[in-house]
Protein backbone atom coordinates (compact mmCIF):
# COMPACT_ATOMS: atom_id res chain seq x y z
CA UNK A 1 0.00 0.00 0.00
CA UNK A 2 1.90 2.81 -0.36
CA UNK A 3 2.22 6.98 0.40
CA UNK A 4 4.21 8.81 -1.61
CA UNK A 5 5.13 12.19 -2.86
CA UNK A 6 7.37 10.59 -5.41
CA UNK A 7 7.07 6.87 -4.96
CA UNK A 8 4.30 4.42 -5.61
CA UNK A 9 2.41 4.46 -2.34
CA UNK A 10 0.52 7.66 -2.86
CA UNK A 11 1.38 10.24 -5.45
CA UNK A 12 4.57 9.73 -7.40
CA UNK A 13 6.52 6.85 -8.90
CA UNK A 14 9.41 5.73 -11.01
CA UNK A 15 9.71 5.31 -14.70
CA UNK A 16 8.35 2.06 -16.20
CA UNK A 17 6.69 -0.16 -18.74
CA UNK A 18 4.57 0.95 -21.67
CA UNK A 19 0.83 0.44 -21.97
CA UNK A 20 -0.23 -2.84 -23.57
CA UNK A 21 -3.51 -3.76 -25.23
CA UNK A 22 -4.94 -5.26 -22.03
CA UNK A 23 -4.14 -2.17 -19.98
CA UNK A 24 -1.11 -3.60 -18.16
CA UNK A 25 2.41 -2.30 -18.56
CA UNK A 26 4.73 -4.48 -20.62
CA UNK A 27 6.95 -6.79 -18.65
CA UNK A 28 10.66 -6.09 -18.81
CA UNK A 29 12.82 -8.64 -20.57
CA UNK A 30 15.04 -8.95 -17.51
CA UNK A 31 12.12 -9.95 -15.28
CA UNK A 32 11.07 -12.56 -17.82
CA UNK A 33 14.62 -13.87 -17.99
CA UNK A 34 14.87 -14.12 -14.21
CA UNK A 35 11.52 -15.91 -14.07
CA UNK A 36 12.58 -18.38 -16.74
CA UNK A 37 15.84 -19.06 -14.90
CA UNK A 38 14.01 -19.68 -11.62
CA UNK A 39 11.56 -22.04 -13.31
CA UNK A 40 14.38 -23.99 -14.98
CA UNK A 41 16.31 -24.34 -11.73
CA UNK A 42 13.18 -25.39 -9.85
CA UNK A 43 12.33 -28.02 -12.44
CA UNK A 44 15.94 -29.24 -12.41
CA UNK A 45 15.50 -29.79 -8.67
CA UNK A 46 12.26 -31.69 -9.47
CA UNK A 47 10.11 -29.42 -7.37
CA UNK A 48 6.60 -28.25 -8.20
CA UNK A 49 5.73 -24.61 -7.71
CA UNK A 50 3.78 -25.60 -4.60
CA UNK A 51 6.73 -27.53 -3.13
CA UNK A 52 9.19 -24.75 -3.90
CA UNK A 53 6.86 -22.08 -2.50
CA UNK A 54 6.53 -24.01 0.73
CA UNK A 55 10.30 -24.30 1.11
CA UNK A 56 11.01 -20.60 0.49
CA UNK A 57 7.94 -19.55 2.51
CA UNK A 58 6.20 -17.59 -0.23
CA UNK A 59 2.74 -18.20 -1.62
CA UNK A 60 2.43 -20.42 -4.69
CA UNK A 61 0.72 -17.58 -6.56
CA UNK A 62 3.64 -15.26 -5.80
CA UNK A 63 6.20 -17.79 -7.04
CA UNK A 64 4.13 -18.28 -10.20
CA UNK A 65 4.10 -14.54 -10.87
CA UNK A 66 7.86 -14.30 -10.39
CA UNK A 67 8.38 -17.14 -12.86
CA UNK A 68 6.04 -15.41 -15.33
CA UNK A 69 7.99 -12.15 -15.02
CA UNK A 70 5.04 -10.38 -13.42
CA UNK A 71 6.62 -9.69 -10.03
CA UNK A 72 10.00 -8.34 -9.00
CA UNK A 73 11.71 -11.05 -6.90
CA UNK A 74 12.40 -10.25 -3.23
CA UNK A 75 16.05 -9.51 -2.46
CA UNK A 76 16.33 -12.56 -0.18
CA UNK A 77 14.94 -15.07 -2.71
CA UNK A 78 18.38 -16.48 -3.71
CA UNK A 79 19.34 -17.15 -0.08
CA UNK A 80 15.94 -18.65 0.70
CA UNK A 81 16.17 -20.85 -2.39
CA UNK A 82 19.61 -22.27 -1.58
CA UNK A 83 18.42 -25.11 0.72
CA UNK A 84 15.87 -26.17 -1.90
CA UNK A 85 17.88 -25.68 -5.11
CA UNK A 86 21.49 -25.91 -3.97
CA UNK A 87 24.38 -23.48 -3.65
CA UNK A 88 25.15 -23.31 -7.37
CA UNK A 89 21.55 -22.50 -8.26
CA UNK A 90 21.43 -19.83 -5.56
CA UNK A 91 24.51 -18.18 -7.07
CA UNK A 92 22.87 -18.18 -10.50
CA UNK A 93 19.74 -16.57 -9.06
CA UNK A 94 21.83 -14.02 -7.18
CA UNK A 95 23.65 -13.03 -10.37
CA UNK A 96 20.37 -12.84 -12.29
CA UNK A 97 18.82 -10.69 -9.57
CA UNK A 98 21.71 -8.23 -9.71
CA UNK A 99 21.22 -7.80 -13.45
CA UNK A 100 17.53 -6.97 -13.25
CA UNK A 101 16.47 -3.65 -14.68
CA UNK A 102 14.57 -1.17 -12.56
CA UNK A 103 11.10 -2.37 -11.70
CA UNK A 104 8.67 -0.98 -14.24
CA UNK A 105 6.62 1.91 -12.92
CA UNK A 106 8.12 1.92 -9.43
CA UNK A 107 10.71 4.27 -8.01
CA UNK A 108 13.92 2.43 -7.08
CA UNK A 109 13.60 3.47 -3.43
CA UNK A 110 10.08 2.03 -3.28
CA UNK A 111 10.82 -1.46 -4.62
CA UNK A 112 11.83 -3.05 -1.31
CA UNK A 113 8.58 -1.98 0.34
CA UNK A 114 6.59 -3.11 -2.72
CA UNK A 115 7.98 -6.63 -2.30
CA UNK A 116 7.01 -6.66 1.38
CA UNK A 117 3.59 -5.28 0.54
CA UNK A 118 2.85 -8.07 -1.94
CA UNK A 119 3.35 -10.79 0.67
CA UNK A 120 1.99 -9.01 3.75
CA UNK A 121 -0.81 -10.54 5.81
CA UNK A 122 -1.73 -7.12 7.24
CA UNK A 123 -1.20 -3.65 5.77
CA UNK A 124 -1.88 -0.40 7.63
CA UNK A 125 -1.66 3.11 6.23
CA UNK A 126 -2.19 6.62 7.57
CA UNK A 127 -2.04 9.45 5.07
CA UNK A 128 -2.48 13.20 5.45
CA UNK A 129 -0.99 14.37 2.13
CA UNK A 130 -2.65 12.38 -0.63
CA UNK A 131 -5.05 9.43 -0.91
CA UNK A 132 -3.04 6.16 -0.65
CA UNK A 133 -2.18 4.78 -4.08
CA UNK A 134 -4.12 1.54 -3.59
CA UNK A 135 -7.34 3.57 -3.20
CA UNK A 136 -6.90 6.04 -6.05
CA UNK A 137 -9.35 5.75 -8.98
CA UNK A 138 -7.95 6.51 -12.42
CA UNK A 139 -9.25 10.11 -12.63
CA UNK A 140 -7.56 10.92 -9.31
CA UNK A 141 -4.34 9.17 -10.38
CA UNK A 142 -4.21 11.31 -13.52
CA UNK A 143 -4.73 14.50 -11.52
CA UNK A 144 -1.88 13.49 -9.19
CA UNK A 145 0.61 12.83 -12.00
CA UNK A 146 -0.54 15.95 -13.87
CA UNK A 147 0.93 17.92 -10.98
CA UNK A 148 4.29 16.14 -10.77
CA UNK A 149 7.35 18.40 -10.86
CA UNK A 150 9.46 18.23 -12.85
CA UNK A 151 6.73 17.42 -15.40
CA UNK A 152 6.46 13.93 -16.87
CA UNK A 153 6.59 13.18 -20.57
CA UNK A 154 3.41 11.74 -22.11
CA UNK A 155 5.00 8.29 -22.17
CA UNK A 156 6.12 8.52 -18.55
CA UNK A 157 2.68 9.80 -17.57
CA UNK A 158 0.89 6.81 -19.09
CA UNK A 159 3.45 4.38 -17.65
CA UNK A 160 2.83 5.75 -14.18
CA UNK A 161 -0.94 5.51 -14.49
CA UNK A 162 -0.80 1.90 -15.72
CA UNK A 163 1.70 0.90 -13.03
CA UNK A 164 -0.52 2.27 -10.28
CA UNK A 165 -3.69 0.65 -11.63
CA UNK A 166 -1.85 -2.66 -11.97
CA UNK A 167 -0.59 -2.47 -8.40
CA UNK A 168 -4.13 -1.96 -7.10
CA UNK A 169 -4.91 -5.58 -7.95
CA UNK A 170 -3.41 -6.37 -4.55
CA UNK A 171 -6.78 -5.50 -3.04
CA UNK A 172 -8.48 -8.22 -5.06
CA UNK A 173 -5.67 -10.78 -5.29
CA UNK A 174 -5.17 -10.94 -1.51
CA UNK A 175 -8.61 -11.48 0.09
CA UNK A 176 -6.94 -12.90 3.21
CA UNK A 177 -4.83 -9.81 3.76
CA UNK A 178 -6.20 -7.29 6.26
CA UNK A 179 -6.03 -3.76 4.84
CA UNK A 180 -6.55 -0.69 7.03
CA UNK A 181 -6.45 2.79 5.54
CA UNK A 182 -6.77 5.94 7.62
CA UNK A 183 -7.07 9.22 5.72
CA UNK A 184 -7.59 12.81 6.75
CA UNK A 185 -10.96 14.36 5.92
CA UNK A 186 -9.06 17.36 4.56
CA UNK A 187 -7.91 15.25 1.59
CA UNK A 188 -11.54 14.87 0.55
CA UNK A 189 -12.53 18.44 1.36
CA UNK A 190 -9.73 19.65 -0.90
CA UNK A 191 -11.57 18.29 -3.98
CA UNK A 192 -8.37 17.97 -5.99
CA UNK A 193 -9.26 17.85 -9.66
CA UNK A 194 -12.75 19.19 -9.11
CA UNK A 195 -16.16 17.74 -8.22
CA UNK A 196 -16.18 14.95 -10.83
CA UNK A 197 -12.79 13.60 -9.73
CA UNK A 198 -13.81 13.85 -6.09
CA UNK A 199 -17.06 12.01 -6.84
CA UNK A 200 -15.09 9.19 -8.50
CA UNK A 201 -12.76 9.11 -5.51
CA UNK A 202 -15.57 8.88 -2.95
CA UNK A 203 -17.36 6.21 -5.00
CA UNK A 204 -14.17 4.14 -5.04
CA UNK A 205 -13.64 4.55 -1.30
CA UNK A 206 -17.21 3.41 -0.64
CA UNK A 207 -16.83 0.43 -2.98
CA UNK A 208 -13.48 -0.73 -1.55
CA UNK A 209 -14.71 -0.21 2.02
CA UNK A 210 -17.48 -2.78 1.47
CA UNK A 211 -14.93 -5.60 1.26
CA UNK A 212 -14.63 -7.57 4.50
CA UNK A 213 -10.84 -7.31 4.54
CA UNK A 214 -10.65 -3.57 3.74
CA UNK A 215 -11.10 -1.00 6.50
CA UNK A 216 -11.32 2.66 5.51
CA UNK A 217 -11.41 5.22 8.33
CA UNK A 218 -11.62 9.00 8.06
CA UNK A 219 -9.91 11.19 10.62
CA UNK A 220 -12.32 14.09 11.27
CA UNK A 221 -11.38 17.57 10.13
CA UNK A 222 -11.73 18.73 13.73
CA UNK A 223 -10.15 16.35 16.21
CA UNK A 224 -8.58 17.83 19.33
CA UNK A 225 -7.13 14.46 20.40
CA UNK A 226 -5.01 13.59 17.35
CA UNK A 227 -1.90 11.36 17.56
CA UNK A 228 -0.91 11.65 13.88
CA UNK A 229 1.19 14.79 14.17
CA UNK A 230 4.38 12.88 13.28
CA UNK A 231 3.11 12.39 9.75
CA UNK A 232 2.17 9.55 7.38
CA UNK A 233 3.03 5.99 8.27
CA UNK A 234 2.80 2.58 6.64
CA UNK A 235 3.04 -0.75 8.43
CA UNK A 236 3.12 -4.34 7.16
CA UNK A 237 2.92 -7.69 8.91
CA UNK A 238 5.04 -10.28 7.10
CA UNK A 239 4.04 -13.95 6.58
CA UNK A 240 6.18 -14.88 9.61
CA UNK A 241 4.20 -12.34 11.68
CA UNK A 242 6.92 -9.73 12.01
CA UNK A 243 6.10 -6.06 11.53
CA UNK A 244 8.02 -3.51 9.47
CA UNK A 245 7.35 0.18 8.92
CA UNK A 246 7.81 2.52 6.01
CA UNK A 247 7.89 6.30 5.68
CA UNK A 248 8.39 8.36 2.56
CA UNK A 249 8.91 11.98 1.55
CA UNK A 250 10.53 14.11 -1.14
CA UNK A 251 11.92 11.40 -3.46
CA UNK A 252 13.27 9.23 -0.68
CA UNK A 253 12.06 6.63 1.80
CA UNK A 254 13.06 4.68 4.90
CA UNK A 255 12.23 1.06 5.67
CA UNK A 256 11.98 0.65 9.45
CA UNK A 257 12.80 -2.78 10.89
CA UNK A 258 14.01 -1.94 14.41
CA UNK A 259 11.41 -3.66 16.67
CA UNK A 260 11.30 -0.76 19.13
CA UNK A 261 10.67 1.81 16.41
CA UNK A 262 8.07 -0.36 14.68
CA UNK A 263 6.34 -0.94 18.03
CA UNK A 264 6.07 2.83 18.52
CA UNK A 265 4.51 3.19 15.05
CA UNK A 266 2.00 0.43 15.84
CA UNK A 267 1.10 2.11 19.13
CA UNK A 268 0.49 5.41 17.37
CA UNK A 269 -1.59 3.77 14.67
CA UNK A 270 -3.68 1.94 17.26
CA UNK A 271 -4.30 5.17 19.15
CA UNK A 272 -5.29 6.97 15.97
CA UNK A 273 -7.73 4.19 15.11
CA UNK A 274 -9.65 5.07 18.26
CA UNK A 275 -9.61 8.75 17.29
CA UNK A 276 -10.86 8.30 13.72
CA UNK A 277 -14.46 7.74 12.67
CA UNK A 278 -15.66 4.12 12.69
CA UNK A 279 -16.21 2.24 9.42
CA UNK A 280 -19.94 2.92 9.62
CA UNK A 281 -19.50 6.59 10.49
CA UNK A 282 -16.89 6.93 7.74
CA UNK A 283 -19.26 5.47 5.13
CA UNK A 284 -22.00 7.83 6.33
CA UNK A 285 -19.70 10.84 6.04
CA UNK A 286 -18.58 9.79 2.55
CA UNK A 287 -22.20 9.47 1.43
CA UNK A 288 -22.92 12.94 2.86
CA UNK A 289 -19.91 14.45 1.11
CA UNK A 290 -20.84 12.83 -2.17
CA UNK A 291 -24.36 14.21 -1.94
CA UNK A 292 -22.98 17.71 -1.40
CA UNK A 293 -20.92 17.67 -4.62
Bigger pLDDT: 67 vs 2: 67
**Run of H or E residues at 45:** none
**Confidence band, pLDDT 50/70/90 cuts, at residue 116:** confident
User: Helix and strand tally (H, E) in the chain?
Assistant: 13, 6
Q: Which candidate, 270, 25, 45, places its Cα nearest to that of 161? A: 25
Strand partners, 127: 183
18-27, 59-68, 127-136: which range is least confident on average? 18-27
| Per-residue model confidence (pLDDT) at position 191 | 96
**19 pLDDT above the threshold of 70:** no
What's the pTM?
Answer: 0.68
Q: How far apart are CA 122 and CA 213, in angstroms?
A: 10
**63 pLDDT above the threshold of 60:** yes
Contact 268, 208 (CB under 8 A): no
Strand partners, 244: 236
| Per-residue model confidence (pLDDT) at position 98 | 73
**Confidence band, pLDDT 50/70/90 cuts, at residue 14:** very low
Bigger pLDDT: 15 vs 174: 174
**233 pLDDT above the threshold of 90:** yes
Beta strand 214-219 pairing with 178-184: parallel
Q: Coil, helix or strand for 224?
A: coil
| Per-residue model confidence (pLDDT) at position 7 | 46
- Edge-to-edge strands, sheet with 252-256: 214-219, 178-184, 122-127, 233-237, 243-249, 252-256
Contact 56, 84 (CB under 8 A): yes
**Confidence band, pLDDT 50/70/90 cuts, at residue 117:** confident
Amino acid sequence: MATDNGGEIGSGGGGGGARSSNGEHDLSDSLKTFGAALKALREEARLTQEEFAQRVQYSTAYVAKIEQGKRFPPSDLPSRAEPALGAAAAKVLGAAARSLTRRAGLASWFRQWAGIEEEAVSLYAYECRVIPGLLQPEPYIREVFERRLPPLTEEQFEQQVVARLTRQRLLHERPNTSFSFMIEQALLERRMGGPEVTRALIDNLLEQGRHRNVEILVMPLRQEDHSGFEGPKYLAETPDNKWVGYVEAQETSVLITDPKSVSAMLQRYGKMRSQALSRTATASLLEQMRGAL
